[in-house]
Structure 1
Amino acid sequence: MPPVDIQADRQMDLLAAAVTTCATGRSAVKIRDFVRETGLDRRDVTPALRFLTDTGLLTSGPAGWTPTVSGVRVGQLWTANREAARTVFGEVWRDSWVYQLLIDSVHPGVALSADEIAKAMRPYRTSQLTPWVHLVDWLELARYVERDDDGHLRLSKAASTDADAEKATHGKEEDDEPQTPAPDPSSPQLGLVLPLSMDQLLHLSAEDYGAVMRSLATIYDVLSRQRA
């Protein structure tokens, strides 16, 4: 999830800094490089990099962070033409879990507040709402939601089309899906070390969901200290 203490456009500055730094011949960027290039506090940089990595704009390794192909496309434009960068960002982010969750959670044509979109997207009522509200800023940045004169938000035309198509596809799959036997309680349970699809993530219990998030945070914190 995006950090709550730094705006979405400032997090994009981190992506642009990664692209600029790697363009000089560097294979990866360290946290101290991001701090120097953006002027952001170190405490804000680490969670922002985690989010940019989780959403496919950066990759991480022992040497530091490197922009992905999609990240390069967005980051190159960000410092020169932000409106063009937003358009490209909206295109490349359609493959991310954020976009899929949005069109699965929000109905086309319905006017909502940022809080209402956040509540619709968060998997559990017990999840903290604030990070999900900040995620709505990213949805606006990508032009997936549009704000009207009254300040309400609606899915954009493109997102509405995708949401309608997604719901139609899911409806057909449910009609065609054969009955499956209940899982054997004695069978091995889903291990947190296995890759999780969005569907699996949404169906985790609140306890397992929390465990996944804590595990990821621990891994990123350890890696961040190694790359500092």
Structure 2
Amino acid sequence: MPPVSIQADRQMDVLSAVVSTCTTGRSAAKVHDIAQETGLERKGIHPTLRFLTGTGLLTSGPAGWTPTVSGVRVGHPWATDRDGARTIFGEVWRESWVYRLLAGSSVRPGVPFSAEDIAKAMRPYPTSTLTPWVHLVDWLELARYVQRDSDGSLRLATALHDDAEAAAPETEQDQPPTPTADPASPALGLVLPVSMDQLTHLTAEDYGAVMRSLATIYEVLSRQRA
């Protein structure tokens, strides 16, 4: 998840800094390079790098961080053409777990939502801390997946209507009868076997693997919602 202490556009500056460093002949960017170029504190850069890696914009290795092809497409124009970079960002992020969670959530086209509503609809399990998911909504707006009305409410962008409708659960008439639960059976639920603190200490590769797995699980469960 993105760090909550830095705005989404400033975290995008981190991606731009990595791209800039790696287009000057360097094979990878280190944290001190990014800090010098962005003016951000190192403690905020590390979780940003993990998030960008987990969403397919960066890769990491012993030498530091390197942009993927998608990361270069987004990060290169960010410094001079943010409007164009946002359009590209929305295109390349359609392969990310973030997009799959949004498309498979209960966020329906044409309906106004608050950031908290969207965050609750996207988080894979109800006991997860809501704040990082609310901050993720800023990224959805940056990618133009959601659009803000004049009153501050958010709506699913027009471009996502088809995907959201395709992922929508069946109507009540189309669904088979729900079987009566056996009182003796244990309660079922999705509980992540790691805490948020443990997540923040994972390597970039492991973090990305966990989030992609959660996205797949949530996508399956969303199709089974009543």
TM-score range, shorter chain: 0.7 to 0.9
For residues 165-221 of structure 1, the C-alpha deviation after alignment (integer angstroms, 9 at most, x for no partner) is 2338x89xx99xxxxxxxxxxxxxxxxxxxxxxxxxxx983142x25972562335x
For residues 1-26 of structure 1, the C-alpha deviation after alignment (integer angstroms, 9 at most, x for no partner) is 00000000000101111111000110
Structure 2: distance between partners of 1:80 and 1:204 = 46
Long gaps (5+) in structure 1:
176-202, 221-228
SS of residue paired to 2:76: helix
- Residues 13 and 38, structure 2, Cα contact 8 Å, conserved in 1: yes
User: By how many angstroms is 1:161 displaced?
Assistant: 1.4
For residues 106-163 of structure 1, the C-alpha deviation after alignment (integer angstroms, 9 at most, x for no partner) is 1222110001100111122211111000000000000000111221111001111111
Structure 2: distance between partners of 1:104 and 1:149 = 26
For the aligned residues, what is the CA RMSD? Answer: 2.3
2:129 is the counterpart of 1:144: no
Runs of 4+ deviating beyond 3 Å? none
1:148 is aligned with what amino acid? D
Percent identity (aligned): 62
Counterpart residue number, 2:156: 155
2:137 is aligned with what amino acid? V
- Residues 109 and 164, structure 2, Cα contact 8 Å, conserved in 1: yes
State which drifts further: 159-168 or 127-136.
159-168
SS of residue paired to 2:110: coil
* Number of aligned residues: 190
1:218 is aligned with what amino acid? L
Counterpart residue number, 1:57: 57
User: By how many angstroms is 1:56 displaced?
Assistant: 0.5
Counterpart residue number, 1:34: 34
SS of residue paired to 2:164: helix
Structure 2: distance between partners of 1:204 and 1:33 = 43
Counterpart residue number, 2:85: 85
- TM-score, normalising length: structure 1: 0.77
Correspondent of 2:202 among 197, 218, 225: 218
What does 1:177-216 align with in structure 2 at a 5 Å threshold? 205-208=190-193, 210=194, 214=198
Structure 2: distance between partners of 1:48 and 1:81 = 21
2:149 is the counterpart of 1:164: no
For residues 86-120 of structure 1, the C-alpha deviation after alignment (integer angstroms, 9 at most, x for no partner) is 00000000110000100111122211000110011
Q: Cα gap change, 1:160/1:21 in structure 2, threshold over 3 Å: closer, same or farther? A: same
SS of residue paired to 1:112: coil
- Structure having the larger proportion of residues in helix: 1
User: By how many angstroms is 1:37 displaced?
Assistant: 1.0
- TM-score, normalising length: structure 2: 0.78
Structure 1: distance between partners of 2:115 and 2:13 = 23
SS of residue paired to 1:15: helix
Q: Cα gap change, 1:82/1:207 in structure 2, threshold over 3 Å: closer, same or farther? A: closer
Structure 1: distance between partners of 2:100 and 2:160 = 10
1:124 is aligned with what amino acid? Y
For residues 26-52 of structure 1, the C-alpha deviation after alignment (integer angstroms, 9 at most, x for no partner) is 000111111111110010000000000
Structure 1: distance between partners of 2:87 and 2:197 = 30
